[in-house]
Structure 1
Amino acid sequence: MGGVTQKMTDTIKSVPALAPAGIQAVVVLRDPNNGQVYGQVEFMQTDDGVVTVSGEIKNIPNKEKRGFHIHEFGDTTNGCTSAGAHFNPENNEHAGPQDALRHVGDLGNIVGGTGDVAKFNFKDSVIKLTGPHSIIGRSVVVHEKEDDLGRGGNPDSKKTGNAGGRIACGVIGFKKV
């Protein structure tokens, strides 16, 4: 048995009853260290395969950016560390969400707003809720720093966006609708 860090490709292939349109997923984010950063993110895939990502994450200081990524494993047994690296099945360099070549999990930054709450709603055509790029069973991680989108001029930039440590995470699962 592969344990909780087993890649989820086989699991997703075994969900043929779900059509791609209208599939929804959710993740509840928690800070494993002190509980300060927390929130919820929802994902909805439409007929054209585009996924809408929306959510609210609390205790992100007003106007500050934080890296926001899908990581390869749905494992939080060792805090956010056990979530692994950015989800990158095509072995691309780290980049921004608008770049042609990127990690599948590269979703850029979220930005703190009024009351230190990051509220967001955007669309992404690279992540999926089914198939080989499915994010179901993987983790969302919020990082302590801004993601430089691969433009930082050093090796870590092309790997992680220099986004720093992990301040909140959670496992993505199908949402009851």
Structure 2
Amino acid sequence: MHRLIGLSVISILLAAPAVAQEATGTFIDAQGAEIGTVTLSQGEGSVSISGEVTGLEPGERGIHFHEVGDCDASTQFESAGAHFNPMDHQHGLENPEGAHAGDLPNVTTDEDGTTPIALETDRISLNEGEDGYVFDADGTALVIHADADDQMTDPSGNSGDRVACAVIEAAGQ
């Protein structure tokens, strides 16, 4: 009887999809210096994004997932590609034709240069096979921009230059 229960539990575990429950990234600035970290945690139907960046000018700024996991500072992070948009939507959380999977609310850099990150989104996933899965063949990056995102203008919300970038990696990789 115990063997039958044990085999049933093993069968259920083997049938479950592969899940990357957490992901991390290290932010670098335009000079390539490490300036912060981010952690992504998969919840029931959404992903929590938490972290902190230091050394940026005070003010509100856009933050987005970008389609390529490449943060080459020598290209001003253009290597990260466009916003992560696997469903081919328009840009902006307030756009009736949007939003990109990578669109997020703005973050604010404090007077001391600290940018706390505490966001949640249901448009990306760390679970393979789900819409918005971020660990595709070329990966995903999280990019902070110089200016606030207007949450409407396609393709990038007029959020300005890319000032910080983190490649998103499954925890433990």
Q: Whole-Å Cα distance in 2 between the matches of residues 61 and 33 of structure 1? A: 15
Q: Does 1:88 align with 2:90?
A: no
> What's 2:13 paired with?
none
Question: Aligned match of 1:31 in 25, 29, 38?
Answer: 29
Q: Whole-Å Cα distance in 2 between the matches of residues 58 and 97 of structure 1? A: 28
| Identical positions, percent | 31
Q: Whole-Å Cα distance in 1 between the matches of residues 56 and 70 of structure 2? A: 23
Alpha-carbon contact 1:110-1:118 (below 8 Å) kept: yes
**How far does residue 60 in structure 1 lie from its aligned partner after superposition?**
2.9
Question: Aligned match of 1:174 in 156, 167, 170?
Answer: 170
Q: Does 1:106 align with 2:103?
A: yes
Letter of the 1:134 counterpart: Y
Alpha-carbon contact 1:97-1:108 (below 8 Å) kept: no
Q: Whole-Å Cα distance in 2 between the matches of residues 33 and 108 of structure 1? A: 26
Alpha-carbon contact 1:50-1:123 (below 8 Å) kept: yes
> What's 2:42 paired with?
45
> What's 1:18 paired with?
18
Q: Whole-Å Cα distance in 2 between the matches of residues 87 and 93 of structure 1? A: 11
Letter of the 1:91 counterpart: D
> What's 2:122 paired with?
125
Q: Does 1:162 align with 2:161?
A: no
Q: In structure 2, the residue corresponding to 1:82 is in which secondary structure?
A: helix
Residues 121-156 of structure 1 deviation map (CA, whole Å, 9 limit, x = unaligned): 222111111234112321111111111111xxxxxx
Q: Quick one: structure 1 residues 40 and 100, their matched pair in 2 at CA, closer, same or farther if it must change by over 3 Å?
A: farther
**How far does residue 99 in structure 1 lie from its aligned partner after superposition?**
7.1
Letter of the 1:71 counterpart: H
Q: Whole-Å Cα distance in 2 between the matches of residues 17 and 49 of structure 1? A: 15
Q: In structure 1, the residue corresponding to 2:155 is in which secondary structure?
A: helix
Runs of 4+ in 1 over 6 A off after TM superposition: 97-100
Q: Whole-Å Cα distance in 1 between the matches of residues 114 and 67 of structure 2? A: 26
**How far does residue 38 in structure 1 lie from its aligned partner after superposition?**
2.0
> What's 1:67 paired with?
62
Alignment length (residue pairs): 151
Structure 1: unaligned runs, 5 residues or longer: 1-15, 151-156
Q: Quick one: structure 1 residues 100 and 27, their matched pair in 2 at CA, closer, same or farther if it must change by over 3 Å?
A: farther
TM-score, normalising length: structure 1 = 0.75
Alpha-carbon contact 2:90-2:97 (below 8 Å) kept: no
How large is the Cα RMSD of the aligned pairs? 2.5
Alpha-carbon contact 2:67-2:81 (below 8 Å) kept: yes
Q: Whole-Å Cα distance in 1 between the matches of residues 50 and 97 of structure 2? A: 22
Alpha-carbon contact 1:60-1:111 (below 8 Å) kept: no
Q: In structure 2, the residue corresponding to 1:52 is in which secondary structure?
A: strand
Q: Quick one: structure 1 residues 61 and 97, their matched pair in 2 at CA, closer, same or farther if it must change by over 3 Å?
A: farther
